[in-house]
Amino acid sequence: MHFDWTFLVRMSAVVLPAVMLMALHGVAHAGTPPADAETGGAMAKLAQRRIFFGHQSVGGNILDGVKQVPSAPRIVEVKDPSQPVAPGTIAHAMVGENTKPESKIADFERLMDAGLANGTDVAFFKFCYIDFNGATDTRALFEKYRATMQGLKARHPHTTFVHVTVPLTTVQRGAKAWLKELLGKPVWGIAENVQRENFNQLLRQTYGGKEPLFDLAKLEATTAEGTPETYELNGQTWPAMVPAYSDDGGHLNAAGQARMAKEFLAFLTALPAPAVQPPIPAVQATP
């Protein structure tokens, strides 16, 4: 029987490199965990966190996005602030009344002092875009917020209080906006976003790099590719919500929910682990 060694050599030249490439690919693939594994690992860090989030509609949009994330913490609505939150939970509740931002500050403080601060590791609330208009006194509102948060931190030192920037809206553009400007009528989002950004700048200046700050407004004003959404007013540049994140100019659509939920969970995951409180020593019986 004649064996064709030339054929074997030719086949080796083709097969061996292919086998080597497959092996190398297998090593590289084994060293890089799949996206699902990375997500699961990040979510595992939240498995012991007890989180409270006070909000209105946009906050609800973010939580709707969180529900779509595999292995995300459970989400429950708070009914009784005196009941502790279970580990691995994002507890939430509607706080205050829209267009009345002071009521949200007061409601959050009430919930915390009613026992919710003692039953959570992380607590925060957010204002809504509708709480701000062109005449909002942002400095006075911020001072009320700052004083309240300072008081809560002093009364509840074992709770991590987080700050959240005010969400933005899109701004009206095109022929309708031009006609409104021509007639001297207000254009949707122009003046309101200025006041929101003024408040947000106070938050960043006061808490940025010092206390946890979730910059929701900056995320809303930046595309997934990193391009900022801005507009000009009186020679200044101001941020606005990326139009692709909303169907009505203010609330988050599916794309906006997915983007904000991802960043929201990443932010919570990066927070320092809650301090473990030492056990209270048992009282020794008097002999």
How confident is the model at residue 23, as a pLDDT? 41
Residue 284 is predicted with a pLDDT of 53
Residue 39's pLDDT is 53
Separation of alpha carbons 46 and 265, rounded Å: 9
CA dihedral 213, 218, 220, 226 (to 10 degrees): -130
Phi, psi for residue 263 in degrees, rounded to 5: -70, -35
Does the reported pTM lie above 0.85? no
Every domain of the chain and the residues it spans: 37-270
CB 99 within 8 A of CB 130: yes
Cβ–Cβ under 8 Å, residues 228 and 239: yes
Residues of the chain with pLDDT under 70: 1-42, 172, 174-188, 274-287
Q: For position 189, what pLDDT does the model report?
A: 79
Euclidean distance between CA atoms 245 and 222, whole angstroms: 10
Question: What pLDDT, on the 0 to 100 scale, is given for residue 273?
Answer: 75
- Tokens of residue 199, six digits: 């408040």
Residues 6+ apart with CB under 8 A from 261: 62, 63, 64, 65, 66, 68, 69
Record the tokens describing residue 153, joined without a space: 């931190």
Q: Residues 40-90: pLDDT tens digits? A: 556 778 999 999 999 999 999 999 999 999 999 999 999 999 999 999 999
Q: Residue 59 belongs to what H/E stretch?
A: helix 57-66
How many angstroms separate the CA atoms of 224 and 246, rounded?
14
For residues 66 and 110, give the distance between their C-alpha atoms in angstroms, rounded to a whole number.
26
pLDDT for the residue 45: 80
CATH superfamily of 37-270: SGNH hydrolase (3.40.50.1110)
pLDDT for the residue numbered 272: 87
| pLDDT value of position 44 | 78
